[in-house]
Structure 1
Amino acid sequence: MHHGPSREGCAAAAAREAKTNPPSSVEVRAATRQDQQPSSTGLQDDGNGNGRPQPPPKRDLSGQQDPKEPHKQKQTVTSYTNEGTHVTVEIHPKGTSPQFFKKLSFGKGPRRVPSLRGQDNKAFERTEAPRPPSTKDLHVYPWDKSSLKSLAVDLQKFEKLDAYALKVNTKGSVEELVQTLLKQARTDLEKVRVIWMWICHHIEYDVVGFHNKSLRLCKPTDVLRTGKSVCEGYAGLFQQMCSVAGIQCMKLSGYSKGYGYKIGQTFQGNSDHAWNAVYLDGRWHLLDSTWGSGTVDDALTKFTFKYNEFYFLTHPALFVNNHFPDNSNWQLLKPTLTLKQFESNLQHNSDFYNLGLLAAHPQTALIQTENGTATISVECRPSTLFTFKLEGTDEHGLLTLRKQGMKLELYPQKTGRQELQIFARPSKSTEDVYTCVLEYIVECKSVDKSRCFPKDLHQPVGPSWFTEKQGFLRPSHPDPIIHTNDGRCSLTFTLGKDISILASLHADSSSLSEEMSRQHIMQIHRGNQVEFKVHLPHAGSFVLKFFTKKKSDPGSYSFIFNYLITCLNTEVKWPAFPLRYSKWAEGYELLEPLSRLLPANRNVQFKLKMQGISKVLVQAGDTYTLTLSRDGFWEGTCNTAGCTELFVMVHENANHSYYSHILKYDVETQ
């Protein structure tokens, strides 16, 4: 059995035959192979967050990366010794303990039964021969979204027990270790928990043994002595410790989607992983202490302890995402999955469920585009943020957040197979680091060139529950894309309290400088309502970005979200809005003229709405005074003759003699 972190070659199940002697102590044994060559399967291999640059990633032994590290991850596997409907049972005289079978690899020839020998050991408790799974052990497939575990567990009640397990550091025998651990455990569940926690925090993954079979140590005594092993050693030690504690436990083997796993690959030949099943409260439950223990680096040369609660009593409908036992009965599912289903099903790693995600569509890992597009959706509990990478970039899709999930529309810009990674993080997280939760292969047969998006488009796109939390309420345009035929559009929001907003317009062309990116937008405030008028400089695709900060905060503005604005009308060519100076106040509103460029030698009508102003002047070739109408507008006419620029000035205080410039226009040259 090859035992790599999450994707090792684990032994195929060895033959089992029962022997009976007049006993008073019974222990179930599962013979596993120790002489197999490494398999290409076993360790999980998952991408991870795409926030700020991270240090070299670590991979948990199920194949996942450390959530804070946006790179591929890897994990390990174990073996099991129940094959078909046969179980190997060792029966020992009272006061003796069994010696582990030598691991054998059986071919098609006759099977050899290992000799049974025991040595005196009064620490072993009587353990009944485990029964095979029955109907009452089975869980409905697909997952009913009720719980991540197959047994109701209150983790808070385990806090003292877990802390105790971490502190125990017995250097003696397996029996002495179990006796020490059980001092704080009373129920069978507590016994399993304290054993699980001790192994996950004291046995490191043997990265040297993973690469060199001759250096691998898998016997429980060796694993305990050295403090390291591969999957078979983890599962074997767990099984023996449970036996000492009087808990029925099986060591299982099968295929896994771990280290080295490639989306869409098929499985054949020897098993590549080992894990355990324990009998609690009248039912069998699954766990994987190897994948619960920690992470390894990309090269599988360094192990770091990083506990993963997910693989303790995992719900079978979730466990089968990346564990396929040799004996389908040990899926503990109704109905069971076929190997073909296991191969084609989308892999959900532990981070997927730990982040509160519930389901993804499509459920197959290989997606084919239709007319150049493909759609992926994720269902989750509220307040989860998402992003994605298609071949390392997020430029070729539109990701929109929903109250309970997200929707991603992909538009690949090249044909062929491409890797898609989807990342997620809790919105309440203080770190802007995303974790890879899903991986697909997208097969694109044709390209839709009309869906080539600007590079400035950020994911997710459009308003959502997240933008509402940032103060953008009741958006006039709930969809992420705004189509305009005449090159103009207007968006409105209700603002939350104490919010200042900025907006900017961006395109891939060089037509919009950084300065001009805000001059094609006119922002108008009316109480707690804000309107954004947008005039496009030409046809094409544009990104409308929004930034906010608290009014009471002297700091800079933060990006919140963006829209995609498209216009196909090649005749569109709107000039910018007038240049607004710093004295242009938030409550001011310009009704006309809206174009920065005014015709020469023409009378131009002005109309503005401004509160708290005593006088308004328009300075062109001559100076013109605007009058305040009964309905509160400053109005008047100005002639553009004899000037190239035009300014609007206001007198804020009647007791002061100076005017402040608020607007600037350009006049066409003849």
Structure 2
Amino acid sequence: MTLRVLPPSPGQFELMVFAKPSEAKEPYKWVCSYQIDCSEPKHPLGLPENPFHFWGLHPKSKDLGVTICNPCEDVIVAENGALTFTFETSRPLLAMFQLFHLELSEPFSKKCLVSQIQDDQLGCHLLLPFWGYYRLSLFVKDQAGGSFQNAGNMFISCKNPVNHNELFPPNLGVHCGPGTNTKQNGLTNPSHVCPIIRTTTGKCNITFHTLWDMDIFTSLENTRLNNNLHSLDRYCFITYLEHKISLTVHLPESGHYKLSIFTKRKENEDFSHACDYVIQCVSTNRLLPFPKVYNAWGHGCILLQPRYGFLPAESWENFRVKVPGACKVLVIGPIKTELQLTKNKIWEGKVFTGTPGTILKIAVKFTPNSTTMDIVMSFKAQIIYENESSG
């Protein structure tokens, strides 16, 4: 056993040590005492409360399924206010993390932590907003049931806290990044294994392989977004391919975003939460949203051009789309433009956008004898300013 003593003030202290066998039910017995003379305390800020009476991994953490912690020092130093823990596990577990500091409220602490649950390891990413000491507690239980048990209490020292405005988005789920839950909801082989994605361009593309035929729903959030005229849901575009799905995200300004992914089987009615991603955007670009998509835009449809829902007014734009099973594809705007099918099974043509405010719609006929066409997507012509990017 290692016992580290941090006197809170100058003076003399008596340290008394009590012990008992781990399985014994009798009370602790006094073992020995030490006299400590502290002339100058090095750590004026007190330690975080720890009701579990031990630091590091639990002496029987292996029985709980947690085998290794990295980092594993007695005092883990977060030099720049950021820290990542990895706990290796001997079996799939459910996990909860709690972060404690004398100045940290429970609601605020949830913006400091991103957790990830995988079959063979648990991950925890921290951003620390205060100077001093923290306790990160890990609680685990088997997926089959039971109750959560404390498996470890990591002692953290932060010397350079992060800015309070640079913390993670609020209301993150327990399942961040790909892991056990995403696989249970039909998503495998992720392009981004880490739950935190950093982009310097304002763009990112996340792909998964799918285990069965499914529908995807996404939700993009940013609580600090200023002066945005369009719903953030228009900044994520879903493309269904054979046994694969692509989520393309374009962000309107810098900041931290929460991207939530939900899935459901075709035969089910309700969506299930698969995972959350944190997207850290440091780009100065103000990207435009994607086109508005309708129900007829289904699996196998691919938008090649244009990729933005707002097009320069009074201009000619190339339209290129893949629509499986289509017999005819039109772009309805100031004039109707029929797209032509190429040898590569791409419908393409040059379309005039019209005056500002003009709505352009892609319409598709799926059966030769049908007298109606399905609207699959719409765009809007407008004046594009210099600080808005459409390419």
Distance 1:414 1:659, change over 3 A: same
Give the residue type in structure 1 aligned to 2:138. Answer: I
1:427 matched residue in structure 2:
143
Change (3 A) 1:267 1:385: farther
- SS of the aligned residue for 1:287 comes to coil
Tell me, yes or no, if the aligned pair for 1:606 and 1:637 is still in contact at 8 Å.
Answer: yes
**1:645 lines up with 2:359 in the alignment:** yes
Whether 2:339 is the aligned partner of 1:626: answer: yes
Letter in 1 for 2:237: M
The alignment covers a number of residue pairs equal to 350
Report if the CA contact (8 A) 2:80-2:162 is conserved. Answer: yes
Return the letter of the residue paired with 1:600.
A
Paired residues of 2:113 and 2:127 also in contact (CA < 8 A): yes
Q: Secondary structure at the match of 1:395?
A: helix
Match of 1:389 among 98, 103, 113: 98
Aligned to 1:288, the other structure's residue is in SS state coil
Going from structure 1 to structure 2, the CA distance change for 1:361 and 1:523 (only over 3 Å counts) comes to closer
Structure 1: 5+ residue stretches without partners = 1-140, 143-256, 276-285, 292-322, 328-342
Q: Which of these two proteins has the greater Rg computed from alpha carbons?
A: 1
In angstroms, what is the RMSD of aligned CA positions?
3.5
Equivalent residue, structure 2, for 1:8:
none
Question: Which of 252, 270, 273 does residue 537 from structure 1 map onto?
Answer: 252
Mark the CA change 1:467 to 1:406 in structure 2 (over 3 Å): closer, same or farther. Answer: same
Alpha-carbon contact 1:344-1:364 (below 8 Å) kept? no
SS of aligned partner of 2:232: helix
| TM-score normalised by L of structure 2 | 0.77
Match of 1:524 in 2: 239
Distance 2:220 2:227 in 1: 8
SS across alignment from 1:562:
strand
Distance 1:421 1:644, change over 3 A: same
Q: Is the 8 A contact 1:575 1:596 kept in 2?
A: yes
Identify the match of residue 287 of structure 2 among 544, 552, 574: 574
- Provide, for residues 185-212 of structure 1, a one-character-per-residue CA deviation record: whole Å limited to 9, x for no partner: xxxxxxxxxxxxxxxxxxxxxxxxxxxx
- CA distance change for structure 1 residues 380 and 520 in 2, over 3 Å: closer, same or farther? same
User: How big is the shift at 1:501?
Assistant: 2.0
Q: Give a deviation string over 1:532-577, Cα, whole Å, max 9, x none.
A: 21111112222222111222112x211111222222222x111110
Query: Residue 615 in 1 paired to residue 328 in 2?
Result: yes
Q: Deviations over 1:101-160 (max 9, x none)?
A: xxxxxxxxxxxxxxxxxxxxxxxxxxxxxxxxxxxxxxxx99xxxxxxxxxxxxxxxxxx
Cα distance in structure 1, aligned partners of 2:337 and 2:86: 59
Q: For 1:635, what is the secondary structure of its paired residue?
A: strand
Q: 1:416 aligns with which of 116, 122, 132?
A: 132
What amino acid sits opposite 1:591 in the alignment? L
Which shifted more, 592-601 or 458-467?
A: 458-467
Displacement of 1:513? 8.4
More helix per residue: 1
Cα distance in 2 for residues equivalent to 1:639 and 1:585: 26
What is the DSSP-based 3-state SS (H/G/I as helix, E as strand, rest coil) of the residue aligned with 1:399? strand
SS at match of 1:519: helix
C-alpha distance 486-362 of structure 1, shift in aligned 2 (>3 A): closer
2:314 match? 601
Alignment of 1:126-137 (within 5 A): none
Structure 1 position 559 matched with structure 2 position 269: no
Matched residues in 2 for 1:566 and 1:624: separation?
Answer: 40
**Aligned-residue offset at 1:524:** 1.2
- Which residue of 116, 135, 140 corresponds with 1:400? 116
- Whether 1:667 and 2:381 are equivalent positions in the alignment is yes
Aligned pair in 2 of structure 1 residues 363, 590: CA closer, same or farther (>3 Å)?
closer
Mark the runs of 5 or more structure 2 residues left unpaired by the alignment: 33-52, 101-105, 385-391
Counterpart position of 2:48: none
Q: 1:437 is matched by which residue type in structure 2?
A: A
Q: Could you say if the C-alpha distance between residues 367 and 404 of structure 1 is closer, same or farther in structure 2, counting changes exceeding 3 Å?
A: same
Distance in 2 of aligned mates of 1:434 and 1:543: 27
Which is strand-richer, 1 or 2? 2
Please point out which of 480, 491, 497 is paired with 2:212.
Answer: 497
Aligned to 1:468: 183
Which of residues 170, 186, 189 is equivalent to 1:455?
Answer: 170
Corresponding residue of 2:44: none
Instruction: Tell me how far 1:591 sits from its aligned partner.
Output: 0.7
Task: Provide Cα deviations, 1:216-264, integer angstroms capped at 9, x if missing partner.
Answer: xxxxxxxxxxxxxxxxxxxxxxxxxxxxxxxxxxxxxxxxx9xxxx999
Equivalent residues of 1:357, 1:378 under 8 A apart? yes
- How far apart, CA to CA, are the structure 1 residues paired with 2:230 and 2:211? 28
